[in-house]
Amino acid sequence: MAVYGLDIGGTKIETAIFNDNLEQQQSWRITTPTDDYQQFLHAIYQQVLKADELSGCQGAVGIGMPGIVNDAGKVLSANVPCATGKVIANDLQALLKRPVAILNDTRCFALSEANGGAGEGYSRVFGAIVGTGAAGGMCIDGTLFNQGLGMSGEYGHLPLSAYLQQKYQLPVLKCGCGLNGCVESYIAGPGVQTLYQHITQSPKSAIEWANDIKRGDEQALKVLACYLDILGETFAAISKSLHPEVIVLGGGLSLIDAIVEKLPDAIQTHLFSGFAVPEVKRAKFGDSSGVRGAAIIGSVHANSNAS
C-alpha cells in the first residue's frame, strides 16, 4: 500500500508518495492557503486525490505542519492561522473517508531521522531543526516521546540564561510565542541577524554570516562564538533532562559546517565534568525528512486503525 506524507508550511504544501519501504516515489508542491480554512482543507483534499490517482490506490495519509497539536487534536499554528482551533485530522478524515494522522512538523523530522536516518542505531535520538525557527522532538527506540500537550521538543522556547545574557550583554527579546527571552530569538535564522547587529553593529543575514564564516572573517567568528555558547547551553539543558545519545540537526543553519563541527565542544562547556556529550550529526534526509516523518505517522496510524 502507498503512504502519503504532506509537509505543510506557511508558504507551501509538499506532498510525497512513499512505498512500503519508505522509499519516495514522487513529490510536488503547491502554495499553502493560509487565510480560509475551507480552501485549506480543499487544497489538502486535492493533493491526496492526486496521490491516489498517481499511485493507483487509496493510500494512508500523514501530515506534518508547524504549530502545536494538543490532546484534543486542535491545532495552534501561527504560520497557518486559518487552522488554529480546528481539528484538522477529523475534518480531513470525513472528506477523505480514511484515517489521517497529524503531528508537528519538527516532531516528524525527529521521527524520520530516528528511523533510518542519521539517528539509526541509537536508542535515544533528539532531532532539532535550526532554521527560521527552533524546535524538535525526542525519540526513544524509534518511537516519539509522549507529546502530552504537544509541547515536548519545543527547545527554542527554553529561556536564555542570565549568565549568557550578562556575558554578552544581550537584549532580552520578546518571542513570537508571547514569552520573553526564548533562545529561538537568538539561535534561529532571524536571531542571527539580532546577534550580528548586537555584536558588530552591522546587520547581516544568516546566509551572509555563513559565507563570512567560511572566509574566516573576524566579526563573523565573534558572532559564531556567541551563537555556539547559546546553542551549546541549550542542548546541554536537553542532555541533562533527556540524555540523548545523538542530536540530529536539520534546517538551514545545520548546513553551516562550523556549527555542526564545533557544537559538541560548546555543549561540553555547559555539562557536568565527566559526563559524555551526545554525538552531533547532520540530518540524513535533509529537507525531505519532514515529509518522510509525516508518511511514517500516516502508515502507523492507518495500520493501527486496520488492526
pLDDT digit string, tens, across residues 259-305: 999 999 999 999 998 889 999 999 999 989 999 999 999 999 888 87
Helix (H, G, I), strand (E, B) or coil at 264: helix
pLDDT band at 116 (very low <50, low <70, confident <90, very high): very high
- Mean of pLDDT values over 183-190: 94
Distance between CA 290 and CA 261 in Å, rounded?
A: 23
pTM exceeds 0.85 for this model: yes
Res. 158: pLDDT tops 70: yes
Mean per-residue pLDDT over the chain, rounded: 93
Instruction: Pick left, alpha or beta for residue 258 (phi over 0 → left; psi -120 to 50 → alpha; otherwise beta).
Output: alpha
Distance between CA 285 and CA 110 in Å, rounded?
A: 11
Q: What is the pLDDT of residues 221-243, one digit of tens each?
A: 999 999 999 999 999 999 999 99
Predicted pLDDT at 307: 63
- Mean of pLDDT values over 192-210: 92
**By percentage, how much of the chain surpasses pLDDT 70?**
98
pLDDT band at 148 (very low <50, low <70, confident <90, very high): low
Predicted pLDDT at 19: 94
Contacts 24+ apart (CB under 8 A), 48-56: 48/4, 48/6, 48/15, 48/96, 50/15, 51/2, 51/4, 51/15, 51/17, 54/17, 54/26, 55/2, 55/17, 55/25
Res. 107: pLDDT tops 70: yes
| Residue found under cell 555584536 | 199
> Beta-strand (E) ranges in 45-197?
60-65, 68-69, 75-76, 100-104, 124-130, 134-140, 143-144
Predicted pLDDT at 267: 98
> Beta-strand (E) ranges in 158-223?
none
Residue 160 belongs to what H/E stretch?
none
Res. 306: pLDDT tops 80: no
- Mean of pLDDT values over 140-153: 79
Predicted pLDDT at 239: 96
Distance between CA 240 and CA 306 in Å, rounded?
A: 39
Residue 228 · residue 262 · CB < 8 Å:
yes
pLDDT band at 214 (very low <50, low <70, confident <90, very high): very high
| Residue found under cell 522556547 | 157
